[in-house]
Structure 1
Amino acid sequence: MSADDGERDTGVHVLPITVEYGGRTFTITPTLVETERGPVLIDAGPQDSLEGIRTHLRSLGYELTDIWLVLLTHHDGDHAGGLADLLEQVDAVVATHHDEAPYISGELDPIKGDGERYPPVDVDIELTDGVRFPTLAGPMEVVATPGHAPGHVSLYLPNSNLLIAGDALVADGGEGTDGEEPLAGPKPRFTPAMGRAIESVGTLADLEIDHTVCYHGGYVDQGTERIQDIYGQLRE
């Protein structure tokens, strides 16, 4: 995965999409991970993300219908709001951490938001920490990183020392970042349980990471050393 295009020839592809959500326009970064069975989509984006995802898939030689698994890092609307639209065209399995499933399925309303929720979707697989999926990039491990959301997960691919952080880390130039160090911890104003989120950064700091993909900010050529620095700063 290179700093120029956020990809390596490892079967992992970032899918940057500019969206309007919550009265703002910004770029999100779902991720596609290739497996022998077909592509896995990590996070579906908010509503109206479908065409952006379709365009990226076609550039990689896939169609939407090739997606067999959608894995949600957590239930926030900018990650899960577009899932119902996607599933109208795709017969895919939906997986998320068991603490996130009630929010996605509609049993509970999302923690963040203005009272309106996205269409609920059934969850097929409820994940726990340590579950592994086989991919063309080697095993992809679920790492529980709660705090930003109760069951937030990140995905770790040890064969390439690659972390797909979700919102456990950010790289969008916001608070806690500067020109030299684009990678930062979760944003406090969007993180209901900041203490748990800080400990989750500590969990990530124990992994061997060379490259990081953040949902907000995309690919960053930084890893363990920077994450350890972030953890130390957040604990001060």
Structure 2
Amino acid sequence: MSADDGEHDTGVHVLPITVEYGDRQITITPTLVETERGLILIDAGPQGSLEGVRTHLRSLGYELTDIWLVLLTHHDADHAGGLADLLERVDAVVATHRDEAPYISGESEPIKGDGDRYPPVDVDIELADGVRLPTLAGPMEVVATPGHAPGHVSLYLPDGNLLLAGDALVADGGEGTDGEEPLAGPKPQFTPEMDRAIESVGTLAALEVDHTVCYHGGYVDHGSDRIREIYDRLRE
């Protein structure tokens, strides 16, 4: 794992980007995974993220055109809003869970949108739970973690006991989390189906995880033990 440090030893790089989102600034964490075919970008960020992604890629010795696959954990605007801008410059394949595809393609309006949706894009691959993608960091498994969104997915790399949690967990210590805890469950105010989201935390707790990357909060050196604590607390 590297945090935009130019190292290519693990094949996984977090890309923290601070952007204007609505009336505030947020820091989001797309993740880059290297494969023999090129780069997988996990989540594109909101509109306005493109230059931040480009800057990170160049610091790692890549260009936007090295991205061959964009994998969206779900359809929320802070994850998918910048995808259309990216696809104007890159001929990349778009993948997401089949339950998220209608929202991204424009067949359905985003669940948490206010009517001013981001530009829709076509989905090329509809993912299902258990699908594995080959990467230089070993196989990357799609783990269905619904609740925050109907088809939310997390990604698990068992060779490194690494979990890319998306929004199924957070690490930003913000409102609706466990205060200053380094890793917490999904934020209830942004999670329409909290009961399903809690069960998804249970799914993640069953994995062997040593390191976690959250879209909100980035990399934390916490894994299975902490995730089980979160699950037990949420079930109380």
Which TM-score band applies after superposition, normalised by the shorter structure?
over 0.9
Q: Given the two structures, how large is their TM-score scaled by the length of structure 2?
A: 0.96
Q: Distance in 1 between matches of 2:119 and 2:4?
A: 36
Q: 1:69 to 1:50 in 2, by over 3 A?
A: same
The CA deviation at 1:9 is: 2.6
Q: Is 1:168 matched with 2:168?
A: yes
Q: Is 1:182 matched with 2:163?
A: no
Q: Secondary structure at the match of 1:94?
A: strand
- Residues 19-68 of structure 1 show CA distances to partners (whole Å, capped at 9, x for unaligned) of 11122211000000000011100000000100000000001110000100
- Residues 80-102 of structure 1 show CA distances to partners (whole Å, capped at 9, x for unaligned) of 00000000000000000000000
Identity %: 85
Runs of 4+ in 1 over 6 A off after TM superposition: 2-5
Greater Cα shift, 147-156 or 168-177 = 168-177
Q: 1:54 to 1:14 in 2, by over 3 A?
A: same
Q: Distance in 2 between matches of 1:130 and 1:76?
A: 22
**Match in the other structure for 2:118:** 118
The CA deviation at 1:177 is: 2.9
**Match in the other structure for 2:46:** 46
Stretches of structure 2 lacking an aligned partner (at least 5 in a row): none
**Match in the other structure for 2:32:** 32
8 A Cα contact 1:145 1:197, kept in partner: yes
**Match in the other structure for 1:149:** 149
Q: 1:8 to 1:214 in 2, by over 3 A?
A: farther
The CA deviation at 1:176 is: 2.8
Within-5 A mapping of 1:99-138: 99-138=99-138
| Residue identity opposite 1:48 in structure 2 | G
The CA deviation at 1:8 is: 7.7
Q: Distance in 2 between matches of 1:188 and 1:198?
A: 10
Q: Secondary structure at the match of 2:121?
A: coil
**Match in the other structure for 2:84:** 84
8 A Cα contact 1:39 1:67, kept in partner: yes
**Match in the other structure for 1:23:** 23
Q: Distance in 1 between matches of 2:27 and 2:49?
A: 11
Paired residues, what number?
A: 234
8 A Cα contact 1:3 1:221, kept in partner: no
**Match in the other structure for 1:94:** 94
Greater Cα shift, 91-100 or 13-22 = 13-22
Indicate the RMSD between aligned Cα atoms, in angstroms: 1.5
| Residue identity opposite 2:67 in structure 1 | I
Q: Secondary structure at the match of 2:156?
A: strand
| Residue identity opposite 2:65 in structure 1 | T
Q: Is 1:73 matched with 2:73?
A: yes
| Residue identity opposite 2:90 in structure 1 | V
Q: Distance in 2 between matches of 1:146 and 1:225?
A: 21
**Match in the other structure for 2:206:** 206
Q: 1:41 to 1:76 in 2, by over 3 A?
A: same
8 A Cα contact 1:171 1:177, kept in partner: no
Q: Distance in 2 between matches of 1:176 and 1:67?
A: 33
Q: Distance in 1 between matches of 2:156 and 2:207?
A: 9
Stretches of structure 1 lacking an aligned partner (at least 5 in a row): none
Q: Given the two structures, how large is their TM-score scaled by the length of structure 1?
A: 0.96
Within-5 A mapping of 1:50-65: 50-65=50-65
